[in-house]
Amino acid sequence: MEQDNIRYLLGNHAIAQAIIDSAVDVVAGYPGTPSSEIIEHLGLLKPECHVEWSVNEKVALEVAIGSSWSGGRSVATMKHVGLNVASDPLMTLAYTGVKGGLIIISADDPGCHSSQNEQDNRRYAQFALIPCLDPATPQEAYDMVSFAFEFSEKFETPILLRPTTRICHGKSDIHLKEPTATTHEIQFEKRPDQWVMLPSRARVRHKLLIEKQTEIAKALELSPWNKLDIIEGAQLGIIASGVAFAYTKEAIEKLGVKASLLKISTYPPHVGLIKQMLDSVKQVLIIEEMEPIVEETVRSISGINIEIHGKDIIPRNGELDLTIVEAAIAKIAGLDHDPYIPEQTSIELPIRPPVMCPGCPHRATYIAMKKSFGKDAVFPGDIGCYTLGVQLGTMDTCLCMGASITTASGIYHAGETKPICCSIGDSTFLHTGIPGLLNAVYNKADITVAILDNRTTAMTGHQPNPSMGQNVLGDTTYAVSLEEMAKACGVEFVKTTDPFDIKKTIEIFKQAKEHKGVSVVISKQECIITARRRGQRLGLFAVDTDKCTGCKTCIKIGCPAIEFKESGTKGKSYINSFCVGCGVCAQVCPFEAIKEVSD
Amino acid sequence: MKEFDLIIVGVGGQGAITASDIIGKAAVRQGLPVQASETHGMAQRGGSVINHVRLDCKYGSLIPEGRADAILGLEPVEALRAIEFLSPDGVVVINTNPVLPISVLSGSSKYPEVETILTQLRSRCKQLVAIDAESLAIEAGHPLTSNVVMIGALSNYLPLDVRSFEESISKIVPPKTVAVNLSAFRLGRKQVE
């Protein structure tokens, strides 16, 4: 029987539940896979604490810091690359320390399932000199939250909780604990020596931070998250960290290998347990995803009489799994290991990459953009659903949040003479696009900035943003105008268009291209997913096969609702049941062969 | 021992996450530990999705290649794409209705004949159950219940009671659709003798 205290939960929902159970005061974050469901879930549960989608991760962390300095328990959530944006406050926060417990949740993405890189943020903890917890299972992520708050408060340090994709988007039976935390007094106390990082005070705090490290390391050694199992007479020792521990445990059992096993889930790594392990075996294998952080610690304290393996056989890139871990252990243990893997099929399977949805307004914007600027123009891009514009040839770069306008400026200033039109979404523009736009005007770049305003933060699951007039709880709030924002940055050419009106949008892009200096085109049309959820139903379209010449102009727009079927010498286009009635194909057809059907 | 490793594959938007939720919740109802892993984020935009569900599992959520007890294929090509996960004693339950990827729609690549896919799958598994889930879903009362039809067929092989599935479905699907989803489940379950 599913009992009240055992629930089948997504890792991120379990973390959200633990946050509520810890009587938190403020939670702030910016959406990013695989972290988004933590705040999303809190928004639905409507707890008593303050929850917000902040405009970016730096803002989110600073909001959490303000709350912590006032005595509030606080959380900042983000994806791994979000911590790059928040790294400025992070590095000095380590010096100042905290008052109310402060957890920074960085959801890492080994394997780049939904990210532009796979950086290992345990390095940030090392860099900033703050402790880090690396859960091996969703249950452990849940259990670590209350521990992290208490630890953070006891040592007045922020703490990094670093679940990976397999924890955040893993689901399991979560055993919930009785909430014990109670609310606490909120009062901002003036502590100039601690909260005001003038150089003279920063020098003092840095020294204190370094001194505190020994105490923190000792306390982590007493924590329940690390575990050593010495097997009598075993020559091989295996040290595994985070989610890799789960694969390692299974591999040891399946292979039947006699090995001592050390689990490391806190950083800095537990030196005492590592020493005990090294003293009892002749050979050590360190299994960790991404960077050799535990391995570096092991090598720094080991003697010469022990054989150490790690990144020489475990990949430093990509995600680990049981197959990789089993092969590595078998190799070190000298076992014959030839697991059964079914033969791959000999027939060619069509690939299925993600695509823009039928009726996606970005497709329409890109058709118009390409028509006005020509395919040889330079199209710097940004991060969101519209990055899929790479399939339409209108996405020439994608680096990090907000980098479209800035790299476009750099391309212009370097002397590139082709027209430059960059794309950025509404939420990304508000995240880190504004400084780039201000800079482009200030330094006289001659570029066009297309703001693809689909009225939501779509890619991460349709979170609200400041231009929508709605917050995470669904409450009404001030809706910032993108037009006025662009004008305030000094842009003289600011025009808004509905991309579903292709002809008008082409005309506006042409004017923007001719404009000397920075021009901004706001291409505004609601995301088709949210529009349909709201109940929007438009008239559907069909191909008049008598008029269709099989020219494939409509096929080239890459809509999943349009099919090309060979028939005799010439093929023709057909519209399938995925059509949602955006009408873009009808506008691009040179033969007027696509028409709206009445019912 | 009720250990069972299941791979669920399909196309973003087909309801693969709901399918793994129904199974996972049914398992927890029976007191089994579960570890599952889902595809969220970018790949959901019409791309290939793969979910791992491990029943009675005390390890990590990823099923190794060659060891899944079953593949639930909501789409034929995606089932064949995931074949490397299946154990030689494994079962494949697939929906025979293709969802054509954009490269096929545009005529730049070909979708294999469904019969060819079935032959390939048959040679790599102990038992293949091929179901026209769309027709059965319509028979049950709504075309969107085809993933629940598929769970019904698969349920014959899982170490879980019918009652657990039915309770789980009743909790997960929208309240107004409980009856039609339950009939979709029962219709699917009857497809395996």
pLDDT tens-digit map of B32-43: 999 999 887 666
Q: Can you tell me the distance from the alpha carbon of A519 to that of A513, in angstroms, rounded to the nearest whole number?
A: 8
For position A341, what pLDDT does the model report? 82
Q: What DSSP character marks residue A28?
A: E
Distance from the Cα of B183 to chain A's closest Cα (Å) equals 23
Considering only the beta carbons, identify the residue of A6, A7, A351 that sits closest to B103. A351
Q: The CATH number of the domain where B78 resides is what?
A: 3.40.920.10
Omega before A34 within 30 of 0, i.e. cis: yes
All CATH 3.40.50.920 domain ranges of chain A, comma separated, are: 227-333
Structure tokens at B130: 């091929």
For B72, the domain range is 4-189
The vertex-A392 CA angle with A391 and A393, nearest 5°, equals 95
Name the one residue in this structure whose structure tokens are 């790299």. Answer: A407
Distance from the Cα of A187 to chain B's closest Cα (Å) equals 39
Say whether domain A227-333 belongs to CATH 2.60.40.740: no
Sheet with A519-524, side-by-side order of all strands: A421-425, A448-453, A519-524, A493-497
Q: Which amino acid is at A314?
A: I
For position B41, what pLDDT does the model report? 66
For position A1, what pLDDT does the model report? 45
Q: Can you tell me the distance from the alpha carbon of A256 to that of A234, in angstroms, rounded to the nearest whole number?
A: 12
Considering only the beta carbons, identify the residue of B28, B78, B105 that sits closest to A8. B28
Percentage of the residues of chain B whose pLDDT score is greater than 90: 87
Q: Assign B1 a pLDDT band (cuts: 50, 70, 90).
A: low
Q: How big is the A-B interface in CB pairs under 8 Å?
A: 179
ipTM exceeding 0.90, yes/no: yes
Instruction: Return the closest-CA partner of residue A18 out of A242, A177, A193.
Output: A177
CATH code for the domain defined by A541-596: 3.30.70.20
Q: Can you tell me the distance from the alpha carbon of A498 to that of A511, in angstroms, rounded to the nearest whole number?
A: 15
Pick the CATH number of A6-221 from 2.60.120.10, 3.40.50.970, 3.80.10.10, 3.40.640.10: 3.40.50.970
Using 50 as the pLDDT threshold, list the residues of chain A that sit under it.
1-2
Taking CB atoms and an 8 Å limit, are A342 and B66 in contact across chains?
yes
CATH architecture of A361-531: 3-Layer(aba) Sandwich (3.40)
Chain A, residues 494-523, CB within 8 A of chain B, namely none
Instruction: Return the closest-CA partner of residue A179 out of A217, A146, A211, A130.
Output: A146
Residues of chain B in contact with residue A344, where contact means CB-CB under 8 angstroms, are 83-84
All CATH 3.40.50.970 domain ranges of chain A, comma separated, are: 6-221, 361-531
Taking CB atoms and an 8 Å limit, are A322 and B25 in contact across chains?
no
Cβ neighbourhood burial of A23 (10 Å; 0-12, 13-18, 19+): buried
Name the one residue in this structure whose structure tokens are 């062969």. Answer: A593
Q: How many residues does chain B have?
A: 193
Strands A541-543 and A594-596: antiparallel
Name the one residue in this structure whose structure tokens are 């040891």. Answer: A252
Taking CB atoms and an 8 Å limit, are A322 and B62 in contact across chains?
yes
Structure tokens at B112: 């294999």
pLDDT tens-digit map of A21-80: 999 999 999 999 999 999 999 999 989 999 999 999 999 999 999 999 999 999 999 999
For position A353, what pLDDT does the model report? 86
Are residues A383 and A391 in contact, defined by beta-carbon separation less than 8 angstroms? no
Q: Assign B14 a pLDDT band (cuts: 50, 70, 90).
A: confident
Residues with Cβ < 8 Å from A246, sequence gap 6 or more? A136, A137, B35, B59, B60, B61
Q: What share of chain A is helix, strand, coil (3-state, %, to 5)?
A: 40, 20, 45
Record the pTM. Answer: 0.96
Q: How many domains does chain B have?
A: 1
Measured from the Cβ of residue A272, the count of other Cβ atoms closer than 10 Å reads: 13
Please state the rounded mean pLDDT for residues B110-136.
96
Taking CB atoms and an 8 Å limit, are A352 and B77 in contact across chains?
yes
Structure tokens at A254: 């399946």
Distance from the Cα of A208 to chain B's closest Cα (Å) equals 39
Residue A198 touches partner B, C-beta closer than 8 Å: no
Q: What are the φ and ψ backbone dihedral angles of A374, each rounded to 5 degrees?
A: 85, 150
| Residue to test with chain A: of B8, B18, B28, most A Cβ within 10 A | B28
For position A34, what pLDDT does the model report? 96
Task: Please state the three-class secondary structure of A252-308 as a single string.
Answer: HHHHCCCEEEEEECEECCCHHHHHHHHHHCCEEEEECCCCCHHHHHHHHHCCCCCEE
